[in-house]
Chains A and B, each alone.
Chain A
Amino acid sequence: MERRAFYRNPVLPWLLIGPQLLLVLVFFYWPTSQALYWAFTLEQPWGGGNSWVWLDNFIAIFRDREYWATVVRSAFYAMCTTGLSMAVALFLACFVDRSLKGTKLFQSVYVWPYAIAAPAAGVAFRFIFAPQSGIIGSINQIWPGIWDPSTNGVHALAMIIICHAWLGIGYNFIFFLAALQMIPRSITEAGAMDGARPLRRMFDLQLPLIAPTVFFLLIMNLISSFTDSFGLIDTMTEGGPVGSTEVMVYRLFIDGFRGLDYSGAAAQSIVLMLLVIALTFVQFKWVEKRVHYN
C-alpha cells in the first residue's frame, strides 16, 4: 500500500508553493496570455492601439512557404543535435564508466562545456570556423573553397548543429555516467563471464537498463534544441546565409524584434509553444510505455 503524507493545515501547503506559483504566474502564464492575445490582434509596436483579426496572423504564417521551411529546418536541427550530442556523450560515458586510465580527470573535464553560455561559445566557434581566418578555415589553404559557412548554407547549418551538440555533451554525459554507475557491477560482470564483449554488454545490458535516462535526455535535448539555439545562431550566423540557419525561434526573434511585427511573432511563439508541449505530451504518453523502469 502507498503511504502518503498530508498537511492538516489547509493553508500551509499553499503558502509553501506560493512563491513558486507566483514565479510561474509572472514569468510564464502572464506573458503567455499576453502573447495569445497579441496573436489574435494586429498590435502597433509603440502601443498606439490594436485591432482584432481573429486567425489572420496564423493563416499568414501557415501560408508562408518560408515559415514551413523553418519548421522543417527546426525539426532536422532538433534530431541532428540531439542524436549527435547523446551519441557522443554516451560513448564517452561508457569509457569513463569502464574506469580506464585518467577517468577521474575526464569525469570533470567532459562537463565543462555545459558551463559555457551559448553566446560566448558562439563567438569562440565563429573564430574557429571562420573560412578566411579560422583554425578549421585553414583547410581552405589545402583545398580552396572546401569550407565556407559564410556563403554555403549547408556548411553554416552543420556548423551550428555541431556547436549546439558540443554544448550539450557535458550535460548528457553526467546523466549517462550516473545512470551507468547505478547498474550493479554484478550484472555486467556476469555478462562478461558469459563471454559478452564490451559492445555487446552495452547494447544488451547497459542500454536497456538506462532506458529511463535515455528517455529523459531525449526530451530535454529536443526541447533545448528548439528553444536554446538562439544564442548560437545570433552570434554565429544571424540566420544567414540566405536564411539557411533560420530556425523557428530565430525567425520569431527577427520578425518580432527586428521587424517590429509583434503580432506575427506572437502567433509564431504560440505555434512553437504548442509544438513543444505536443512533443513532450506524445513522448510521455507514447514513448514512456515502451520504457521499462526497473
Chain B
Amino acid sequence: MTRTRLLSAASTIAVLALATAPAMAQTKFEFWYGLSGDLSERVQDMCRGFNESQADYEIVCVSQENYDNTLQNTIAAYRANKQPTVTQIFDAGTLDLMLSGAYMPIRELMESNGYEIDWDNYLSGIASYFSTSTGEMLSLPFNNSTAVIYYNTDALAKVGFEGTPKTWEEVETVARAMKDAGYECPIAFDPSGAWQWFEQFSAIHNQPIATKGNGFGGLDAEMVVSQGKFVDQLTWIKKMYDEGIIVHKSKDAGETANDAFVNGKCQITSSSVADHGTFGKQAAEGVHWANAMLPIWEGTERTNSLVGGASLWTLKGKSEEEYKGAAAFFNYLAQPEQAQTWSTITGYVPVTMAGFEAMKANGFYDEAPYKGRELAVESLTFTPPTENSRGIRLGNYASIRQEMVKTMQDVLFNNAPVLESLQAFDAKGNEILRRFEQTYKGAQLP
C-alpha cells in the first residue's frame, strides 16, 4: 500500500521533471534588489521584459524589501556560497564590497562577454562614486539620484517671492515671511536625512567630510567636519528650529517630512529627486510645488552634488553561463529606451549623458509632471567632481551617518553645543574608521 503510493509519487515527480525539462535549457540566475512597493513592481516589469526579449537566460528577481536587508542577506548568502549573481548595493555599502574582493568588475564582465560600453558616457559624478581611484568602474549605476529642495509655490507666491530661492539667505527670508503669514511649518526637517542636510551640503560647498579626499586616498582618512562650514550650517539649523521656522517631522513624530510637504502642512522640504514622481502622485488637492537645486550660502561657489542610490554588483563564484546572462541583462538595461522608461516611471536620473540628452531633446523635461527633474542632472554635473564632491569612501559609513543623525538630534532636542557636538562626532567617526582600517589591515583601496 505504502509502496505503491511512494511509487506513484516518484513517478509523478519524474513526469513533472520531464515536463519542465525544456525550460532547463535556459540559464537561470538571480538578482536581489532592495526596493519595495511601487518601485519593486517596476523592477519586476523590467525583469519580465528581459526574459521575454531573449530565450537563453532567465532572470529571477527577488526583492529584499530595503537596502539594509539586501546588503545583510547578500553577505550571509555569500558566506554560505549561495549568493545571487547580481545584487543591488546602496552607496554607503560600497567600500566594504570594494575591499572584499567578492565581486567581478563590471568592465571586465562586459568586455569578456563581448559588449561594447562607452564608459565615458556615464555622468561624471555617478561614475566616480562607483569607480576605483584610477577611474575603472566596478559596478553598474542603476538607480541614482541626488538631493534637491522642494518648495510649495503657493506659499512662495503668498510671501511675494518670484521663482525659487537659490541661497540659504533667501530661504531664511521666505521662511520667516511664511511664518509671519501664518504658516505653522515653513521648513520640514528630519534629522535622519543626514544625506541631504549634511553630506550634500558639504559636497556643494566643496567642504571635506574627511581628509584624503573623503577617503578616496586611503583607509587612514580622518574626519574633519568640525573644522568646516557645517558648523555654521548646524548652528543656523538650530537657530531656525528654536524660532519655529524649521519644524521637526519624522516617522516617530507621526508624520514624515515628505508627507507633511505633500499634504501642504510644511512649505519647504529637502529630499531625493527620486521622490519627484511620488510627490506628483501624492500631492493633496490644491498643493502646487516646484523643486530647485539645493541652496548655497551667498559668497560661496557651487560644486556638483553627490550621487545617491544604488548600483548593481556582480558577485564572484558563479558559472560562466550565469555571467553571460548577467552581462546580457546589463546590456538590456543600458539600451536607451529601457533607461528612459526606468527614469520616467521612477524619478531616478538617467545615468548616461546620452540618455539625458536624448530625453531632453524629446522635450521630456519641458512639462509637468517631469519638469524639474533635469535640475538633478544639472546639480550632479554642475562642476567636474572635486576631491570633496567626488563621493564618500569611508569604512562603515552607514555607522558614521547614524552618528551624524544622533548629533543633529542632540543639538536640536537637547541643546547640545554645536561645535563640541561636531568635535565629538569627528572623534566617534575616527574610532569607526580606525576599527575599519584594522579589520582590513594591509588592504589597498582599488
Contacts and interface: CB of A to CB of B under 8 A. Distances in A.
Given A151-B412, A243-B406, A258-B399, A237 B252 contact: yes
B396 A259 contact: yes
Contact of A259 (B99, B252, B398): B398
A132 interface: yes
Contacts, number: 106
Contacts of B96: 45-46, 260
A234 to B, nearest CB: 11
A7 to B, nearest CB: 31
Main secondary structure of the interface of B (DSSP, over half): helix
Interface residues of B, number: 38
Nearest to A46: B100
B439 A42 contact: yes
Given A48-B101, A149-B252, A260-B396, A242 B410 contact: yes
A103 interface: no
Nearest to B407: A242
A240 B406 contact: yes
B68 A131 contact: no
A46 B406 contact: no
A228 interface: no
Contacts of A217: none
Interface in A235-277: 236-237, 240-243, 254-255, 257-261, 263-264
Nearest to B442: A51
Contacts of A18: none
A258 B398 contact: yes
B440 A44 contact: yes
Contact of A255 (B248, B399, B440): B399
B255 interface: yes
Given A46-B97, A48-B100, A259 B432 contact: yes
B401 to A, nearest CB: 9
B5 interface: no
Contact of B253 (A132, A153, A254, A258): A132
Nearest to B435: A261
B75 A150 contact: no
B102 A46 contact: yes
Tier of interface size on chain A: 35 or more
A257 B72 contact: yes
B3 interface: no
A259 B252 CA distance: 22
B253 A44 contact: no
Given A44-B439, A130-B252, A241-B413, 20 more contacts: A42-B439, A44-B99, A44-B440, A45-B100, A47-B78, A47-B100, A48-B101, A48-B102, A53-B438, A127-B254, A130-B255, A237-B252, A243-B406, A259-B396, A259-B402, A260-B71, A260-B96, A260-B399, A261-B396, A261-B399
30 contacts: A43-B439, A46-B78, A47-B79, A48-B101, A53-B438, A130-B252, A130-B254, A131-B254, A132-B249, A132-B253, A132-B255, A134-B254, A137-B254, A148-B253, A150-B248, A150-B250, A150-B252, A151-B412, A153-B413, A240-B405, A240-B409, A242-B409, A242-B410, A242-B413, A257-B72, A260-B396, A260-B399, A261-B435, A263-B439, A264-B435
